Amino acid sequence: MLRAGCDVELLSGGRLLVQPGKQALGDIGNGSLAHNIEQEALSVLADGKAQYRAYGDDGSIVSRRRESAFEVFFDVLLPSEHLIIVGAGHIAVPLARMGKLMGLEVTVIDDRVDYANEQRFPEVDRVVSAEIDDALSNQILDSQTYVVLVTRAHAFDEQALRQIVTKRARYIGMIGSRRRVLMVYKNLIADRVSPVYFDRVFAPIGIDIGSQTPEEIAVAIIAEIVNVRRGGSASSLRLAEWAELAGVDLTDYD
């Protein structure tokens, strides 16, 4: 996945890629002009909007009307948003397709090669046929990542959730009935996973639209991801009262 950066192009020639905390890549010369352009690139990246600037020979920002001005275009490069689908069963097929329609980078993970293959998922960016723990350990789970757990059994969902629940993924959703979700939470608490993390999990997964078929369930999941992505107000199926039902006092974990 692409790391956030700013692509700097001098219209008179020269290019630079500036990323926070890393050495700039490219060549636009040396001196105060190059230094000021690099600093401005970091400012543009923080603002998140592409910009034109003009600089004089001394490196100061000037009017673009000046004949001696160096015109510079700053283009913001952001990492692509990534949908990771753990489980390659019936729901994963329409879900992967919808994820691509939403402009997401899509990865499908399953330990069964007859399910996790490019023939079954021709439109996705990558299909990983491997043990779930191994496959997830190689994934970047950050604020641009949406993870959906739709495996064939709650034991596999539990295995995956145990590995990712403390990570910084933007969205974690797990399929299953209220009873199945509660069973997974109880097992993880018994294994000393702090229950405070479960408030970040959308389980049961999806927006409450009464979905039943795999395609309808996929719509409900994508709708919930959009709801999180855009800050919507739609009602989720998630088990809000799980702590009470499990007899967990969350104040013990503050």
CATH 3.40.50.720 for domain 82-253 = yes
Instruction: Kindly state the tokens that stand for 46.
Output: 């923080």
175: three-class secondary structure by DSSP: coil
What span, in angstroms and rounded, lies between the C-alpha atoms of 115 and 129? 8
Give the pLDDT score at 156.
93
CB 45 within 8 A of CB 4: yes
Q: List the beta bridge partners of residue 71.
A: 54
Q: List the beta bridge partners of residue 8.
A: 16, 74
User: 8-20 pLDDT, tens per residue?
Assistant: 888 777 888 888 7
User: 42-58 pLDDT, tens per residue?
Assistant: 888 888 788 888 888 77
User: 16-33 pLDDT, tens per residue?
Assistant: 888 877 778 887 777 787
pTM value is: 0.75
**Residue found under tokens 């639209």:** 209
DSSP code at position 168: -
Q: List the beta bridge partners of residue 127.
A: 108
pLDDT tens per residue across all 254 residues of the chain: 445 677 888 877 788 888 877 778 887 777 787 888 888 888 888 887 888 888 887 788 887 677 667 888 888 877 789 999 999 999 999 999 999 999 999 999 999 999 999 999 999 999 999 999 999 998 989 889 999 999 999 899 999 999 999 998 999 999 999 999 999 999 999 999 998 999 999 999 999 999 999 999 999 999 999 999 999 999 999 998 888 888 888 777 76
CB 227 within 8 A of CB 235: no
What span, in angstroms and rounded, lies between the C-alpha atoms of 212 and 191? 33
DSSP code at position 167: S
Question: What residue spans in the chain does CATH classification 3.40.50.720 cover?
Answer: 82-253
What span, in angstroms and rounded, lies between the C-alpha atoms of 64 and 71? 7
Give the pLDDT score at 254.
63
- Could you tell me where the DSSP H helices lie in the chain? 31-47, 92-101, 132-137, 154-164, 178-190, 214-230, 242-246
- Interior angle at CA 224, CA 222 and CA 225, nearest 5: 65
Residues 6 or more apart in contact with residue 230 via CB below 8 angstroms = none
Give the pLDDT score at 161.
95
Give the pLDDT score at 3.
58
Identity at 103, one-letter amino acid code: G
Residues 6 or more apart in contact with residue 188 via CB below 8 angstroms = 158, 161, 162, 165, 195, 198
> What is the bridge-based pairing of β-strands 105-110 and 126-129?
parallel
What span, in angstroms and rounded, lies between the C-alpha atoms of 173 and 85? 10
DSSP code at position 140: -
Instruction: Kindly state the tokens that stand for 72.
Output: 């510079």
